[in-house]
Structure 1
Amino acid sequence: MNKEELISIIDYTLLKPTATKEDIKLFCEETIEYGFKTVFVNPYYVSYAHRLLSSHGIKVGVPIGFSLGGATTHVKVEETKEAIKNGATEIDMLINLGALKSGEYDVVRDDIAAVVKAANGLTTKVIIETALLSDDEKVKATELIMEAGADFVKTATGFNGGGATEKDVKLLHSVAGDKLGVKAAGGIKTYEDAVKIVKAGATRIGASGATAIINGGVSTSSY
């Protein structure tokens, strides 16, 4: 996989809670320079990033229910609607982990389906926090995501321990088949890591250290 192919599937992210407006500006300038196709910023910065990037054809994505997933469905839906109004065109929502662990599968599926409906055809990815789940729970979560009509299953936020592993990506891909994309996020640090995770079945990568991945471990970020 060459650099251009890898760049085309990376979601470049800046989600740290202390990110300033100037950080977001520099981040967007880097995005333009490297040619990343999609960025993810916290809801507060969606409209600002959209203003900086829309003329370059770069999508702005937003995390929903971040970073714990325990918000009510109503809150997640309203957060989704507002983000879209502000310019977001991709939605990464966090699954209701407590409901999943409780075996309340209808609640989990309906929660996802409500956000998918609110997204109104925009690409929707569902984060399941693989490090916090058993293999059986990872399989069940992926099945519920498919039933709910989302587009991707995503490994992790990177904020709750663990991250993407080849083993987990292979498992999720084996369940998803061609019905869901697999987004690998969390812990991908090098070009080699990224290539391995794609070979395991990932079709999208989320990374805050995307410039370092592309530059062979050297980050150009100043934030």
Structure 2
Amino acid sequence: MAALIDHAILKPELTDAEVDADLDLAARWGIFSVCVRPSDIPRSVARLAGTPVATGTVIGFPHGSTSTAAKVAEARRALDDGAAELDMVQHVGRLRSGDVAAVEDDIAAVVAVAEGRVVKVILETAFLTDDEVVAASKAAERAGASFVKTSTGFAGGGATVHHLRLMRGAVSPAVRIKASGGVRGLDTLLEMRAIGVDRFGTSATDVILSDVQRLVETGATSGETDASSY
């Protein structure tokens, strides 16, 4: 279960001490990665050295409306600082304007500078119609993205099963799905995992994995779902 989680450390008000505490939590659980603010990448890489936890960051966050050149420069600096994965926000306004080609080009430019590293495209599904969710997912795949991701967690809406099903159906098996925003409990994670979600962005890592640990230790199940099967 820990290998499914990207622990989010993105709130703008976090102090250095609070960031360090979250990094230590990630190391303690041995999760897949943390997703930190761009300015915290060097701190994260240094503090997590010797652990299996990767450092990821965000690009064009949280609105996605910076220029493509700015996103490329931000991505290049993040990679130079040691980021292993990039979660970029698509240009939501362009997508809603129907300019899918511009959205695709924007993503492709970041994918190119990533040079094979994982790029996740945040759709910000709370702002989109179903048709726009599908169009954005397909554009991300054409642009070479590794993942499509639901949300920043800063737009007043998070991941829903409905949107995740749309995303999973819109892209090929080569593109993975990340649910982010509102994933705060084990039951929610298991429900989303069952429909094909590959990674979860959450700040509730300790709560979720503590629940998993209790289930393992007691041999119990969460609702009707056996956590051991995931």
Short-chain TM bin: over 0.9
| C-alpha displacement of 1:49 | 0.5
Residue 171 of structure 2 is matched in structure 1 by 176
Report the equivalent of 1:11.
6
| Equivalence for 1:64 | 59
Alignment-derived partner of residue 220 in structure 1:
none
**1:48 is matched with which residue?**
43
Amino acid at match of 2:19: I
Instruction: Spell out, residue by residue over 1:116-150, the C-alpha distance to the aligned partner (whole angstroms, 9 max, x if none).
Output: 01111100000001111000000000110011001
Q: Are 2:62 and 1:75 equivalent residues in the alignment? A: no
Equivalent residue, structure 2, for 1:145:
140
The C-alpha deviation readout for 1:77-114, integer Å capped at 9, x for no partner, is 00000011111010000000111111111110000000
Task: Kindly indicate whether residue 18 of structure 2 is the aligned counterpart of residue 23 of structure 1.
Answer: yes
Please tell me the residue identity of whatever aligns with 2:146. D
Letter in 2 for 1:164: A
CA-based RMSD of the aligned residues comes to 1.1
Distance 1:191 1:125 in 2: 23
How far apart, in 1, do the equivalents of 2:85 and 2:194 lie?
24
Structure 1 unaligned spans of 5+: 1-5, 218-223
Larger radius of gyration: 2
Q: CA deviation at 1:67?
A: 0.2
**Structure 1 match to 2:218:** none
Cα drift, residue 57 of structure 1: 2.9
* CA distance in structure 1 between the aligned counterparts of 2:192 and 2:139, rounded to whole angstroms: 23
2:64 counterpart letter in structure 1: G
Deviations 1:3-42 (A, max 9, x none): xxx2111001110001111111111111111111200110
Q: Which amino acid aligns with 1:133?
A: L
Q: Secondary structure at the residue paired with 1:54?
A: coil
1:55 is paired with a residue whose SS is: coil
C-alpha distance in 1 between matches for 2:80 and 2:200? 25
Q: Which residue of structure 2 aligns with residue 202 of structure 1?
A: 197
Equivalent AA in structure 1 for residue 24 of structure 2 = E
Equivalences for 1:65-144 in 2 at 5 Å? 65-144=60-139
Runs of 4+ in 1 over 3 A off after TM superposition: none
Measure, in 2, the Cα distance between the counterparts of 1:174 and 1:58.
30
> In the TM superposition, what whole-angstrom CA distance separates every residue of 1:26-72 from its partner, at most 9, and x where no partner exists?
11111111111200110010000000112213210001000000000
Letter in 2 for 1:48: R
Aligned-pair identity in percent equals 36
Q: 1:35 aligns with which of 15, 30, 35?
A: 30
